[in-house]
Chain A
Amino acid sequence: MFSIKPVVQDYWDWRAAGNFLFGGTGSGLMIVLAFAALLGGVSFPLPALIALAFVGAGLFLVWLEIGKPWRFLNVFRNPFTSWMSREAYAAAFLTLAGLAAAWTGSAALIALAAALGAVFLFCQARILHASRGIPAWRDSSVLPVIFATGIAEGTALAALILLAEPSRPAWLLPLLLIALFVRALTFFQYRKRMSDGRAPVAVVRRLARISTTVWTLAFAVPAALVVIAMAVPALAPIATAIAAICAVFGGWHVKFNIVRKLAHVQGLAIERMPVRGTPGIATPSAHPGWQRD
């Protein structure tokens, strides 16, 4: 892949995107689960294993993508500056703490796993933010989007998994409502920042195209269903289930777009055209694919 104009990167495909989708959901679930266990006394061993399975699935997809899969241990070599190395460490410790928590049922260990889940989620966001070659990733507004959607997906999945749990905390649905709202807020703030000239024209257009779907799938529909679930107890199970599925898929839709569809490269630019003739005149810059053309 090479283009003067910004085109969508093809270095990271759906497998890399899968890490952000599943990793965010899994780590978000672990965080919410710890609160549910500590504040509500929810039984967490099985849900904790589900959270780890999500994180593991994401990492497995990445492993399928790397060019030298049997050198994967080298990913641990640079925690000093690389967020990918840090993510690997966080994943390793998260897995250990999560398994230990599921095995022992220890509240302290699930709290530790939740903290590591938060670190893992933060690392995922910083991985994108550190990619200076991709304008839609390097802007700081991507950080809250990745973190907020991870929490929203985790809350939604917790609500789904704990549907039949008698000790399911009452604050789970209100929390989901808040998480959905915050996620929508961060996404539209992200879109605004991209539209302010921080991204190529193609990214801005793509964001405009997906905004309706994001608004509907990731916020309006699940939020309305959560309200219904809270207001009409008879409909609570079905409304909660559909809301949770919508919320998770809505988050995946956002992240898949960020990693795969909005990931246009910087493109090349010429700050000054060369002087021609005598006396020469140089026309100013050319930056194909950006607003200042």
Chain B
Amino acid sequence: MTRYVMVADLRRCVGCQTCTAACRHTNATPPGVQWRRVIDVEVGEYPDVQRAFMPVGCMHCADPPCMAVCPSTATRKRDDGIVTIDWDICIGCAYCSVACPYQARYKVDKADFAYGADAAENEAEQYDPRKLGVSTKCNFCADRIDEGCAKGLTPGVDPEATPACVNSCIADALHFGDIEDPKSNVSKMLKEHKNFRMHEDLGTDPGFYYLWD
């Protein structure tokens, strides 16, 4: 079995938002829709303050609450653990959005572009009216993974088979790979470093790990 997960090294992330920009460019998401975000967290009170940057988005949970509640079966989980949405089936009820504890889902009802009424080149290329009025979210660049795998490439190792946000990370903070493969990059990292997952207590078994030591 394969389960693709993402690993973010919080010690390395500098909060540059390049991953956010890469995701937006690759998927041509409209303004306000950021499938990959980096949040800025401050803890403590002056002068004892710590700050960290934390990439967030769809956690591709093993037990995704969004999938169980979906009345149309539009939200599904692939055999490799990636949670997807079928835009041709989704009714846009947003039940998945209230079920997701990570605010990972978006719904946009009308076309909107980054620079006004006219679509930029990448937006025009990627424009898909099927995305209007339905739920959208990060899909770990599943198309890239599928095409890369078809060429015999390894997701997380070969850029052509790796999500755009991971490829773009300037600090080498984002990593992607198969957690079921003990020899994979992510398996080794998780073995060597202390890590956590967000809201694990909610029983979602998220597929996004954060290294902190």
Contact = CB atoms under 8 A, between A and B. Distances in A.
Interface of A: 1-4, 9, 11-12, 62, 65-69, 71-72, 74-78, 81-85, 88, 127, 130-134, 137, 263, 265-266, 268-276, 280, 282-283, 286, 288
Given A11-B94, A67-B132, A137-B98, A268 B69 contact: no
Interface of B: 9-11, 34, 37, 39, 41-44, 50, 52, 54, 56, 65, 67-74, 89-95, 97-103, 107, 109, 132-135, 194, 196-199, 202-204, 210-213
B91 A131 contact: no
Contact of B91 (A67, A130, A286): A67
Nearest to A266: B101
B70 A66 contact: no
A266 B103 CA distance: 8
Contacts of B34: 2
A271 B71 contact: no
Contacts of A67: 90-94, 107, 109, 132-135
Contact of B212 (A78, A85, A127, A274): A274
A89 to B, nearest CB: 10
A263 B198 CA distance: 20
A270 B50 CA distance: 12
A3 to B, nearest CB: 8
Nearest to B8: A274
Contact of B134 (A68, A75, A272): A68
Given A74-B71, A270-B52, A286-B43, A2 B103 contact: yes
Given A130-B68, A130-B99, 10 more contacts: A4-B41, A66-B93, A67-B107, A68-B92, A74-B90, A78-B73, A84-B93, A131-B65, A272-B210, A283-B43
B41 A270 contact: yes
B169 to A, nearest CB: 15
B41 A286 contact: yes
Nearest to B61: A132
B52 A75 contact: no
Nearest to B88: A71
A11 B99 CA distance: 11
B73 A272 contact: no
Given A82-B69, A132-B65, A268 B50 contact: no
B71 A88 contact: yes
A268 B95 contact: no
B98 A84 contact: no
A273 to B, nearest CB: 5
Given A270-B41, A286-B43, A75 B98 contact: no
Contacts of B133: 67-68
Contacts of A65: 93-94
A78 B89 CA distance: 12
A274 B54 CA distance: 10
B91 A78 contact: no
B68 A81 contact: yes
A80 B100 CA distance: 19
28 contacts: A11-B94, A11-B107, A12-B94, A65-B94, A67-B109, A68-B133, A68-B134, A71-B90, A74-B89, A75-B72, A76-B71, A81-B67, A82-B69, A84-B93, A84-B95, A130-B68, A131-B65, A132-B99, A132-B100, A132-B202, A132-B203, A133-B99, A133-B103, A265-B101, A268-B102, A271-B198, A272-B196, A274-B212
A84 B93 CA distance: 10
Contacts of A134: 98
The 3 closest A-B pairs by CB, nearest first: A67-B92, A67-B133, A274-B10
A77 to B, nearest CB: 5
A62 B71 CA distance: 14
